[in-house]
Amino acid sequence: MIKETVKLPISIETINEAKKNIKEYVRTTPLIQTMFLSAFTGGQVFLKLENMQLTGSFKFRGAFNKIVQLTEEEKRQGVIAVSAGNHAQGVALTSKLLGIKSTIVMPETAPMAKVKATENYGAKVILHGKGFDEAKEYCEMLVGQTDVTYIPPYDDAYVMAGQGTVGLEILDAAWDVDTVLVPVGGGGLIAGIATALKSFNVHIQVIGVQAENIHGMTASYNEGKRIGHKINPTIADGCAVEYPGKLTFEVVKELVDDMITVTEEEIEVAMKDLIQRTKIIVEGSGALATAAILSRKVDKYVHGKKVIAIVSGGNVDLNKIIDVIGHFTLANELK
């Protein structure tokens, strides 16, 4: 059990409540063993396919759990959110299902596939800023000028609890898991999963994975305080968060066992191998956990262990897939 002396923003009770709130709509996503990664690591490696969730990402869970909590007056006023793409779709679809108006602020660099999908769910999309943090600042300005309710992408107890239902599904399917590898942006997913898993067994190792180019949570974890980190853009755009959430960091620093980073090339290799070896199409963020495995940076957590790597999303522009495949095809031709 989690130490009772540590008061965290979420608990196993709030995650169980979230499970009840979202069960009518959210899919229980597949958990499949990958023989390719199992042979590669000498462990039992499974993939939790949140790319098969409604909207193609785990984000639908947290968005729905947050919005369903709103008062009738708040629902009538509508909601607004900021997102690189996956939270956008979660909020947009939830709003459509519940009959609520939604506005989404997305960075100008957001993948067009995510922009179009969000619009197709009925949301009004505003493109602003060169990255997530600029879009977030603009969204917060709009919230101050209107009566709409802001739906945070990660730094919210209800959102984290919704994402924590992924952890409950892992325990239902593989209660004896040793290690869970989780892609990290602002920290909502890993905070929820870590809370669920550690409430059952504190010895389950929860490892976060971020891109070397943008890894605010990893930098904060290593420093013991919230700081930002951004060098260049990353193909893992869904996790391109320079500063982690305040609430999520509280959970991560207490419950997460390690944070590691992977390079852009390692992410691309993982995307390519997931397509070629496991027949799974993922976005850069969804490939982070697999990239950690293939780079051998988590060998001590994987070898001889029962391991689950979270595939957090699959919303990727086809042109990006073509670029990734073309990169490695050209490399092979030049050998």
Positions annotated as catalytic residues are: 59, 312
Question: How far are the Cα atoms of 7, 179, 264, 314, 318 from residue 87, in angstroms, in the given order?
Answer: 27, 26, 23, 13, 20
Write the burial class of residue 40 (CB in 10 Å: 0-12 exposed, 13-18 middle, 19+ buried): middle
> Using alpha carbons only, what angle is made at residue 103 by residues 99 and 107, rounded to the nearest 5 degrees?
145
What is the number of other CB atoms lying within 10 angstroms of the CB of residue 225?
10
CA separation for the pair 94, 91 (Å, rounded): 5
What is the number of other CB atoms lying within 10 angstroms of the CB of residue 304?
12
Q: Residues 111, 83: contact at Cβ < 8 Å?
A: no
- Pairing status of strand 205-211 against strand 79-82: unpaired
Q: Which candidate, 57, 71, 1, places its Cα nearest to that of 26?
A: 57
Residue 304 DSSP SS3: coil
Give the pair of three-digit tokens for residue 26.
Answer: 């959210």
Q: Residues 35, 273: contact at Cβ < 8 Å?
A: no
Give the pair of three-digit tokens for residue 29.
Answer: 């996503």
CA separation for the pair 244, 222 (Å, rounded): 13
Q: Residues 131, 109: contact at Cβ < 8 Å?
A: yes
Phi, psi of 57 (to 5 degrees): -160, 155
Give the pair of three-digit tokens for residue 43.
Answer: 């462990």
Spacing of C-alpha 84 from chain mean position: 11
